[in-house]
């Protein structure tokens, strides 16, 4: 009679040894669960041209939107701008492609905004 590794390990301390000793299991690969995707994406800092405190946050759920979405980018600035992402741009973001949009004009200026997820 031949004894395989699993039977040998189980015989050492009863059935619990197979759970406690690495290498004594029945095989199979262990792969940790992938980390969940961040809940939001967007831009800040240098990805907003001429930035002085503006921030854009796009909820990941918005990437499946069937309508254009508008966002405030005020952040810590003393004034606000709005950017609009079209359905096509949201789909590009979901696919991992960065998009470039221009904010509304406030206080005689606007901002180019690079958005990525």
Q: Residues 63-81: pLDDT tens digits?
A: 999 999 999 999 999 999 9
The answer to whether the CB of 64 falls within 8 A of the CB of 74 is: no
The total of other beta-carbon atoms located within 10 Å of residue 73's CB is 23
pTM for this model (two decimals): 0.66
Q: Can you read off the two tokens belonging to residue 68?
A: 């254009």
Q: The tokens of 17 are what?
A: 């040894």
CB count in 10 Å sphere of residue 46 = 8
Query: How far apart, in whole angstroms, are the C-alpha atoms of residue 41 and residue 55?
Result: 11
Could you report the per-residue pLDDT of 10-47, keeping only the tens digit for each? Answer: 554 444 433 444 444 555 555 565 656 567 888 776 68
E-strand spans in 1-117?
40-43, 56-59, 69-72, 82-85, 99-102, 112-115
């Amino acid at each position: 009679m031949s004894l395989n590794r699993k039977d040998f390990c189980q015989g050492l301390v009863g059935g619990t040894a197979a759970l406690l000793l690495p290498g004594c299991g029945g095989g199979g690969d262990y792969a940790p669960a992938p980390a969940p995707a961040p809940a939001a994406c967007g831009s800040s800092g240098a990805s907003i041209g001429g930035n002085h405190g503006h921030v854009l946050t796009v909820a990941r759920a918005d990437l499946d939107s069937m309508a254009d979405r508008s966002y405030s980018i005020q952040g810590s600035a003393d004034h606000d701008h709005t950017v609009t992402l079209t359905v096509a741009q949201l789909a590009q973001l979901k696919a991992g492609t960065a998009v470039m949009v221009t904010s509304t004009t406030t206080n005689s200026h606007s901002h180019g905004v690079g958005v990525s997820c």
